[in-house]
Amino acid sequence: MGTMLMILIIIVSLAICIRSRYLSIQAQRTLDTFNHQLDEALKGNLVEVSYDEHYISQIGEKINRFLSMTSFQQEKNQEEKDGVKELVSNISHQTKTPLANLTIYSQLLLEQPLPKEAEMFANEIQTHTNKMSFLVERLMKTSYMENNLINIHKEKISVKQLLEESLSSVALQGQSKNLSFVGQTAITNEIFCDRRWTLEALNNVLDNAVKYSPSHGTVSFSCEQQEFFTKITIRDEGEGIPEGEQAQIFKRFFRGKGSLGKEGLGIGLFLVRKIMEEQNGFVKVSTPSTGGAEFSLFFPRES
């Protein structure tokens, strides 16, 4: 009797072990399946799986439903993004041609001998057309940035070359205010960046520096190699930016107290921040004790 009981206990124990092992293997397979399904979902691929066990099936079906909803939402977001891109493109196309024509016609008028009043009107047309072109261009760029529609193509570029090109874009404005541009004579640093958008950021910062500098002032620039970043700094001799506004100036359409009476839309610095973020960098502003505003653009070092 004792022997039979012992054999029965051994058989039951083996059965329990086998069953436990089977369940463990099944659970591991299910977890592996869940893991694979989630990995594919992260890649943007919806993989539906059939589950057999009742309890596991409930969980699996909920995962399938969740991933289906996520996939649907992603497709919807992409459709909306494509719609915005098409709308922006259409607006840009529909406005550029008329504005370009207005510019040409006003220039042609000004080339002709005109009565004084007519010449004044032609100049006004040209001035306001240029402002409208500038406004449309900035709004287009802002829309592209906000909807992540830009493509960043990084390449190794000389900082000196970027600064020279950017400085040339504000040279006439600087001359009209008798400004001096001073900086390091030998900048040998190189950064990985998108040429077009980095120039856009630098141009916006320099444009602000020129705009807010007093006549006969100085705009300085420098480049510093840090452990993880390459820092480009541009400094003006204007009134500076109050500490309470420094966290606000990179917001879209923000106009500080010092910008009253100055041309602008409050878009330039917003674009600078977005451009730097798109390139895994950032921008900082400070007001040195000696006055003025100092903008520093940080580009990550990459191999």
| CA distances to 22, 23, 33, 159, 276 from 27, in Å | 9, 6, 10, 57, 47
Residue 292 DSSP one-character state: S
pLDDT at 234: 93
The Cα–Cα gap between 270 and 259 comes to: 15
Domain residue ranges of the chain, discontinuous segments joined by +: 92-146, 154-300
- 8: Cβ contacts below 8 Å, ≥ 6 apart: none
- 171: Cβ contacts below 8 Å, ≥ 6 apart: none
Minimal CA–CA distance to 145: which of 271, 43, 260, 26? 271
- 218: Cβ contacts below 8 Å, ≥ 6 apart: 179, 180, 181, 182, 236, 237
pLDDT at 31: 65
pLDDT at 297: 96
* SS3 call for 146: helix
Using only the alpha carbons of the chain, give its radius of gyration: 31
Task: Reply yes or no on domain 154-300 having CATH 3.30.565.10.
Answer: yes
The Cα–Cα gap between 220 and 182 comes to: 5
Q: Which helix (H) or strand (E) holds 153?
A: none
Minimal CA–CA distance to 218: which of 231, 230, 209, 227? 209
DSSP3 helix / strand / coil % (the chain, rounded to 5): 60, 15, 25
Judge contact between 170 and 206, C-beta under 8 A.
yes
Judge contact between 265 and 135, C-beta under 8 A.
yes
> Going residue by residue through the chain (303 aa), what tens digit of pLDDT does each one get?
556 656 666 666 666 666 666 656 666 676 677 667 666 666 666 666 565 555 456 666 666 676 677 776 777 767 766 666 666 666 666 776 777 777 787 788 788 887 888 888 888 887 778 777 777 777 777 776 766 667 788 999 999 999 999 998 888 888 989 999 998 767 888 999 999 899 989 999 999 899 888 999 999 999 999 889 999 999 998 888 888 787 888 887 666 665 655 666 667 888 899 899 989 999 999 888 888 889 999 999 875
Burial of 62 (0-12, 13-18, 19+ CB in 10 A): exposed
pLDDT at 192: 92
Instruction: Write a three-state SS string for 236-264.
Output: CCCCCCCHHHCCCCCCCCCCCHHHCCCCC
